[in-house]
Structure 1
Amino acid sequence: MNHLDVVRLLGLDAPVRTEGGGHEHVIPEDCELLLQAVQKGVIAGSVLLGRAALPVRSLEHFTEDAAPRIEDMEASLRTREQELPLPFFPNPGGMVPWGRTARDGVLLWDTTDQNTANWTTVLAERDFQVWLDLPFSASEFITRALLGRPEGVPAFETYEEYESNTFWNVADDMRQTATTLANPHIGAVEEILTVVRSVGIPGVRQYAEELLDRAVNESFDVLPEDYLTVMREFPGGVIAGVRVFPVAGDTAASPVLRWLDEDRLFLQWGEVEGRATGWLTTKGAPQDWRIACIEPNGSALTCLEDQTFATFLRRRLRGNNSLF
């Protein structure tokens, strides 16, 4: 998928590529072409492109409007004693913001690859507790949002149109999210899914389902039900400082759900503070598997006998970062 898919879905004329414009060296060319073609507004009721003078001459200039939001992210995570999934620009390989969501989330590029054409998307929800790692360019991300949007949601709205139309549905959803999370009797799985859904981007759930179906069909016959329920909507990333691997994917590019030993006694689904995190599977039934962490040097294993996948993540979301 590329920028031409986006302009086709929006019914726009394709932007003209300018030879010698330096597109490949500052930001991904597909995004610069989208900025050229798409006016200010809201795409699929959920995505807002960052704006910059064209052609983009420097990342410093491209990111200057997002600087206050980046400071908020860093301060919020420091308060929670959580690390960033990746550093921010101008650190080498640092994340570069390229847009935001209608629910005040942030869209960033993972710039680990020196080739801007290979930069992929990181999506952080408004409280920076959920980060999604998505192997999509800006164009593919927006295309999936357009294709996955609910019936009745316009492909594009100016800010004025959005504020008199789709905004009210988004506001209602955000109020419902707050009400659900305020319920003292909310279950662990429901709490996690409510936070994940608060990202509010069409197409994310469809991608998560693709990954889960592939993993179940190809590699894992039986997994804990709470894990399956969450991962059907969460494609991988970070939840409350815990890196949760995708259930499937290109293992050469990034780790996925995997066995750490030949005897299949430890199934790793993520990492926290450098520790391999997963289940001890010595108890046969997946519903009886409990969370365990292995020290980075392999010197010790800690088992949280009372914690399942969902209860462990909920505890982290509520501010308890203990690994004991």
Structure 2
Amino acid sequence: MNHLDAVRLLGLDAPVRPEGEGYGQVVPEDFELLVRALPQGVIAGSVLLGGADVPVRSLEDFTRDTALRLADMREVLGSREQELWLPLHPRPRGMVTWGRTANDGVLLWDTTVADTADWTTVLTDTDFQFWLDLPFSASEFVARAVTGRAEGTPAFETYQEYESGTFWKVADDKRATAMALANRDIGAVEEIVTRVRSIGVPGVRQYAEELLGRAGESFGALPEDYLAVMREFPGGVVAGVRVFSVSARPGAPGLRRLDEDGLFLQWGEVGGRAFGWLTAEDDPEEWRVAYVEPDGSALTCLEDQTFATFLRRRLRGDNSLF
């Protein structure tokens, strides 16, 4: 997937690639060419590219307008005592912002590898509680948003068109989300799923379902609350909890058996501790969250916590491990 594919999906004419060097040296070339090809506006009612003079000459210049947002992320995560699996810019190989969502989420690059062509996307919500780890370039992310958009949503709108059109649908969705989350009796699964969906980028759910499909029956029956969440959440971080993808891609962790007898099924980690379930019970609905210390010295079972209730507890500010 390259920028030409994304531009064509948007129904726009793709310009000829400019002569000269400099593209792809500081940030991915496909992003720079997308910015050059697209007028300013909203993609699939949800995605807004960061403005930039291209080719980008330095990360300092590129990140200047988003430095305060990155500072907000660091402050919020620190106040919650939450960690990510990746640092934030300007730390070495830190995540760099490249766009935002109509719901005030942020799009970033995972810059772990040196070659900018291999940078992938991380998507976070407006509260910095959900961080979605996505193996997509900017072009593929845009293309998936366009192909996954709801019927009737324009592929591309100028800001003026958006404000008189799709904006009102986005506003209605925000109100519906607020009303759902205000319900004191909301269940753990419904709360998490509602919050993931509120990020509002089409294509994410389809990718999460792809991952579940790839996993197939590799692990046998799994708890229903886990499956319901992972149909929406493709992996990343929830309230400081690293939640592995149900189907790992090369070089990334995934759902896995941690011990030789297969009784501990790991779905994530917190602070170096392996989190998962003890699967001695035949019925997955009886499985409860457990964790193993980093040195393997002890195993603790949270006998009253399922996957979903544990994540909700974290989302509500309770970071205890007991």
Partner in structure 2 of residue 144 of structure 1 = 144
Partner residue, 2:48: 48
Kept in 2, the 8 Å contact 1:204–1:235? The answer is yes
Secondary structure at the aligned position of 2:24 is classed as helix
* Cα-Cα RMSD: 1.0
- Give deviations 1:80-116, integer Å, cap 9, x for gaps: 1111332112211100100000000000000001000
Q: Do residues 165 (structure 1) and 165 (structure 2) align?
A: yes
Name segments (4+ residues, structure 1) moved above 3 Å: none
Match of 1:116 in 2: 116
Q: Which amino acid aligns with 1:169?
A: K
Q: Secondary structure of the residue that 2:153 maps to in structure 1? A: coil
- Give secondary structure in 2 for the equivalent of 1:211: helix
Counterparts of 2:86 and 2:171 in 1: how far apart (Å)?
Answer: 30
Give the superposition deviation at 1:319: 0.4
Query: How many residue pairs end up in the alignment?
Result: 322
Q: What does 1:9-48 align with in structure 2 at a 5 Å threshold?
A: 9-48=9-48
Q: Which residue in 2 is equivalent to 1:263? A: 261
- 3-state SS, counterpart of residue 216 of structure 2: helix
Distance in 1 (CA, whole Å) between partners of 2:51 and 2:21 is 18
Which residue of 1 is the match for residue 296 of structure 2?
Answer: 298
Consecutive unaligned residues of structure 1, counting only runs of 5 or more, are none
Task: Give the C-alpha shift of residue 19 in structure 1.
Answer: 3.8
Q: Secondary structure at the match of 1:5?
A: helix
TM score, norm. by length of structure 2: 0.98
1:1-324 alignment runs, 5 A limit: 1-217=1-217, 219-250=218-249, 252-324=250-322
Tell me if structure 1 keeps the 8 A contact 2:189–2:308.
Answer: yes
Matching residue's letter, 1:271:
E
SS at match of 1:24: coil
- Partners of 1:312 and 1:63 in 2: CA distance: 35
Q: Give me the identity figure in percent.
A: 72
Structure 1: how far apart are the matches of 2:300 and 2:22?
51
Task: Output the CA distance in 2 between the equivalents of 1:303 and 1:186.
Answer: 25
The CA distance in 2 between the partners of 1:148 and 1:158, in whole Å, is 19
The answer on whether the counterparts of 1:15 and 1:34 sit within 8 Å (CA) in structure 2 is: no
Per-residue CA shift, 1:118-151, capped at 9, x if unaligned?
0000000000000000000000000000000000
Q: Distance in 1 between matches of 2:109 and 2:23?
A: 16
| CA displacement 1:211-248 (0-9 Å, x = unmatched) | 0011124x122000100111011100111110100000
Structure 2's unaligned 5+ residue stretches are: none
Q: Distance in 1 between matches of 2:134 and 2:266?
A: 20
Question: Matched residues in 2 for 1:169 and 1:264: separation?
Answer: 47
Contact 1:74/1:84 (CA < 8 Å) preserved in 2? no
CA contact under 8 A between 2:70 and 2:89: conserved in structure 1? no
